[in-house]
Amino acid sequence: MKSLSLLGSTGSIGKNVLNVVRSFPGHFRIVGLSAGRNIEELASQVQEFQPECISVADQELASQFTALLPAEYQERVFWGDEGNQKIATIPAAEMVVSAVVGAVGLLPTLAAIRAGKDIGLANKETLVMAGHLVMQVAAKHKVALLPIDSEHSAIFQALEAGRHQDIGKIILTASGGPFRGLDKEELHHVTPEQALAHPNWDMGRKISIDSATMMNKGLEVIEACWLFDVPVEKIRVVVHPESIVHSLVEYIDGSVMAHLGVPDMRIPIAYALSYPERLPLNLSRLSLSDCGNLSFEQPDYERFPALDLAFQVMREGGVKPAVLNAANEVAVAAFLEVEIRFSDITSIVAATLNRFAPGDDLNLEAILAADAQAREAARQEIAQRVLAEYS
């Protein structure tokens, strides 16, 4: 039985992880749970899975949360960054699943790696911000990084068909999000409610917006470079609206290995948790005859410039990817609060990037400093646009 700590247990990925654990009680047990602010959901998870310790967003929430739990949990509740790192380094945990969203995932994931835990990685920001550093530390501690994103799981599986030196290119598929057919003027007037309505996947709010701007695919490009040790020049993106082909690997002899499946996150989650075994998931099976035609098209970099920004910052290197991520997190939050327009998200990120030099991506302090400075710079860009809008 494999013991798991789960970071981000009340989010979309976290709940799917627990669905897999629930379906295979003889294979997995939960020893640690962390969440943000949804303490009612977390309390229910604690009652069901009985972890050794739990963490929430802050101390005030921890006090409220403790009141919802049996007496034996009074000393097992932690909070904040320190709490997340506590959950990530529980001695009993063999694997840590990093399913939090955003930069908050970096420090606990690094802590888990340094503690020798294998990682089920759904927090792409960890590698976007500090890919060079994270992969170096993972190699030092001989830790496995097992991808949970459907695209990276697909690539991981397709790479088992050949040798690393024979990779021609990696092809990430993108659904195109809810606005694939809109022109630039229509994108300008998109509302948060429209952007949250993804056609194929049930995701959290932030990731849904990233999918709509295609920034999510840009972040996945950066993640793939580090996770699979390939230069950005070998990464391609293709829009595949049906979300049946989850990604592909082309080898130097022209062979293309594709991973197909129904769009259900429990498939890549279960594979990461059980690797190298496969679990008999009780899910609907892919019927090719029912799929009809599968379509593919090139992404429109003019209408969705976030994708181009990701390729650009990966070529520039240093802390630029961390800046991209930080500015995007701030801009997405502002859009969800209806402070800026949908089309402003990527332009705010681009304007923020222009303020920074590449810097040193092997220095954790420099990465964290760039993250903080980029957030402040993005807020300044937003304030200027709001002022101009109403002046």
- pLDDT, the chain, mean: 94
Angstrom distances, CA of residue 372 to CA of 27, 73, 249, 354:
40, 34, 36, 16
The tens digit of pLDDT for each residue in 38-97 reads: 999 999 999 999 999 999 999 999 999 999 998 888 889 999 999 999 999 999 999 999
Q: What is the pTM of this model?
A: 0.94
- In angstroms, the CA 5 to CA 78 distance is 14
Q: Which domains does the chain show, CATH number per domain? A: 2-147 (3.40.50.720), 150-263+271-313 (no CATH), 317-391 (1.10.1740.10)
Q: Phi and psi for 33 in degrees, rounded to 5?
A: -135, 135
pLDDT level of residue 201 (50, 70, 90 thresholds) = low
Residue 200: pLDDT band (50, 70, 90) is low
Kindly report, residue by residue over 304-319, the tens digit of the pLDDT: 999 999 999 999 999 9
Does residue 203 carry a pLDDT above 80? no
* CA 47 centroid distance within chain: 27
Local confidence band at 391 (pLDDT 50, 70, 90 cut-offs): low
pLDDT in tens, 89-120: 999 999 999 999 999 999 999 999 999 999 99
Position 290 scores a pLDDT of 87
